[in-house]
Amino acid sequence: MTVRTLRSIPPQEAAVALSALRELRPQARHTASPDALHAFLTLTRPEGYRLAGVFEAGQAEAAAVAGYRVMHLLHAGRTLYVDDLVTRSQARGRGHAGALLAWLDAEARRLDCAELHLDSGVGPQRFAAHRLYLNAGLNITAHHFARALA
Ligand SMILES: CC(C)(COP(=O)(O)OP(=O)(O)OC[C@H]1O[C@@H](n2cnc3c(N)ncnc32)[C@H](O)[C@@H]1OP(=O)(O)O)[C@@H](O)C(=O)NCCC(=O)NCCS
């Protein structure tokens, strides 16, 4: 069994989340370097965005990372929204993402949220995530629409 700890990752420790977040968002300019990620965390702090991670024993870098925020929705009330969730490829299949979802669920309850929400893409690269979410008791409740404005 893999020994792990779960905890918040403060902005000054952003570098420990970078490898995982870069696997999820390789093209994002804010995953280009530790400074870029720190700048993103500073930019989004007023919006409530923050990181949490799973750490395997003896490892400084997070094996899995979630980015999340608390928001208020007319239809759902106070809600914990998960922007990002990823496990580094070499650490998958050890229960880290499942443990992180359980941590987020507990955090949402601690923060007095009524619901937990996330969006997930529909391609084959997200099928493992979809199994995870459905097994964790999340339901598919919406289609997400978007278009670029540039
Ligand atoms: C989706 C993702 C986050 C799952 O991370 P993970 O840490 O591997 O997830 P878990 O280990 O908790 O669960 C994965 C599988 O391993 C299984 N598992 C969990 N612990 C296990 C263990 N100790 N031994 C064997 N299998 C185990 C789970 O049952 C699950 O099985 P399934 O694939 O049949 O559903 C990961 O695949 C990932 O980062 N993918 C790319 C990014 C991505 O899609 N992110 C989601 C964006 S919406």
DSSP for residue 11: G
Please determine, for residue 49, whether its predicted confidence score (pLDDT) is greater than 90: yes
82 lines ligand 1 (CB under 6 A): no
C-beta 136 within 6 A of ligand 1? no
What is the structure's pLDDT at 2? 82
Domains in the chain, start-ordered, CATH in brackets?
4-135 (3.40.630.30)
* Nearest atom of ligand 1 to the alpha carbon of 84: 47
What value does the mean pLDDT take over residues 32-61?
A: 96
- Tally of CB atoms within 10 A around 143: 7
Find the helix or strand (DSSP H, E) in which 78 lies. Answer: strand 77-87
Q: Please report which confidence band the pLDDT of residue 102 belongs to, taking 50, 70 and 90 as the band edges.
A: very high
Alpha carbon 16 to its chain's center: 14
Average pLDDT on 57-74 reads 98
Spatial distance between the Cα atoms of 63 and 32, rounded to a whole number of angstroms = 18
Q: Where are the alpha helices (DSSP H) in the chain?
A: 18-24, 34-44, 96-110, 127-135
Short-list 118, 137, 138, 120, CA closest to 129 = 120
List C-alpha distances in Å: 45 to 87, 112, 115, 133: 23, 19, 21, 26
**CB-CB neighbours of 87 under 10 Å:** 26
Relative to the CA of 125, which ligand 1 atom is closest?
Answer: 44
Q: Is 85 in the pocket of ligand 1 (CB under 6 A)?
A: yes
The confidence score (pLDDT) of residue 69 equals 98
Angstrom CA distances, 102 to 32, 66, 72, 125, stand at 29, 12, 21, 22
Average pLDDT over residues 42-68: 97
State whether the beta carbon of 7 lies less than 6 angstroms from ligand 1: no
